[in-house]
Chains A and B, each alone.
Chain A
Amino acid sequence: MRASSPVISIAQLQKTFYVPEREAGLRAATRNLFRRQNREVKAVDDITFEVAPGEMVGFLGPNGAGKTTTLKMLSGLLYPTGGEISVLSYIPSRRQRDFLRQITLVMGQRNQLAWDIPALDSFELNRAVYQIPRPDFDQTVAELIELLDLEAIVRKPVRNLSLGERMKVEIAGSLLHRPQVLFLDEPTIGLDVTMQRRIRNFIAEYNHRHGATVLLTSHYMADVVALCRRVIVIHHGKILYDGELSGLVDKFSALKTIVLTVPDSSIDLSMFGEVTSREPSRVTLRVPRADTSRVTAQVLASLPVSDLTVEDPPIEEVIEHVFAQGPEQAA
């Protein structure tokens, strides 16, 4: 097998849902019994991309963008309506055993472990399900306990754990079979900031140690920024951007921010650009990207500036702006 063959390969993938339309009233209900009236919802509309082994890719998109649907198709839970999809050279929807043994799907706040017994006992069941040899299993469990700091909680019934602790044992449980591909759907949702950071660190460490391919969806920018160099932005089922995180702002933001340190900030700077904030000795300007160097030169030439920095607007803002657009405006 060539070293560079992609782990995940998606071409012109489509997924259309048929959502039943319900009307009120008895007659409509009876009609509904025999002939369902359906509305078409295109959750995934012709997306194409590839993922190389060991890559960590972030899926960004607002709710309903198609991220979770894509992950479910990648893990074999949903059948695509059109297009091709291949993971580890398997067709996911065939759901072959050997395929299922090499992947894992973690959905935030979905429970896989049994509620009323210690996580360690549920791990035992996963061992049997995935047919993990005993020595490998013991080693993996020890490693996960160490990496995720589970020693104190892994023998308590899952229902007695806090939300963050539960998420940790759930993740541990889903990695017992050392999958090569990790699909993580909103893994940090609902957790506090400290726990989010811990889980992010864990994922990074896991990828580093085992070279697992990670596909991560989130609508927390922090997750994606911390873990992924490559980002795929999805909106209304279409890919808006696929590339480096740093390039994201370049592509979507038409603006740059210039922060000036000046002795008197009350001067009028409107000829240079839009003033977004004014503090005693600092002014923040927003200028069109194309004008950045011209404005910078002009400002330096005409004002007593002691410090000047050129920044990108915060990624969150950029993304928000992108998501706020309708499907027609999607690039």
Chain B
Amino acid sequence: MCASASNRPPAIELQGLRKCYGGKVALDGLNLVVPSGCFFGFLGPNGAGKTTTIRILIGLTAPSAGSVRLLGLPMPGKAFEVKRRIGVVPEDSLLFDRLTGAEFLQFAARLYGLGGEVAAHRAAELLALFELDKHPRKLIGEYSKGMRKRLMMAAALIHRPELLLLDEPFEGVDAIGARLMKDLLAAQVRRGATVFLTSHVLEVVERLCDRVAILHQGRLLLEAGVSELRQAAESLEDVFVRVVGAAQSGHKLEWL
């Protein structure tokens, strides 16, 4: 259940969001409200428009039509204020390869307005928490994929954001790292932050999230509380397959 407080505006509010790439429609009139304090799972098959949505939310892509409000503020109009209050783990790497993990975290913290000492202190703590402190002088360019994801998560958390936008955050992360990240995200929601997450691992989404939305071909097909789905005695995977994928499973290749 989302711990939404009535006096707080929705964390995310999308109205009639549309994005076209040439003739291809990536998002087709998306309307979505994510309450504050919610752990929200944003699902869809490959190419559904999830990453496009996240890129629009964080201002990397401009929508063709529609409006976006994050934490009650319009985007991109109040982008600067919004960016200070959100943490992002995008699908692509945001990391500068020629810095060490500690340097990058301090760098990110100071850009978020933290003082030098606080930045260094938090960076050290986060590195230890994410078990990235074994090789303090190793450059990020030499990190494995899982280490890079963990570092991105640490950078997204360092300024204690009110809203976390996470695009496939567990991809490439080992079981221990993933468990740590899940616990941390759950703790963020308990303290009142909102987590907006995309993932293809439906079991994880089902276990962590309060609400889910399923996007397909740029359109919102379903939005519901996870508890409502459970009452219908269906797993999230069953719902997902029923909603977006049933027609595709019948084809078999003779030669394969």
Instruction: Decide whether A and B are members of one complex.
Output: no
Partner-A contacts on B (CB < 8 A): none
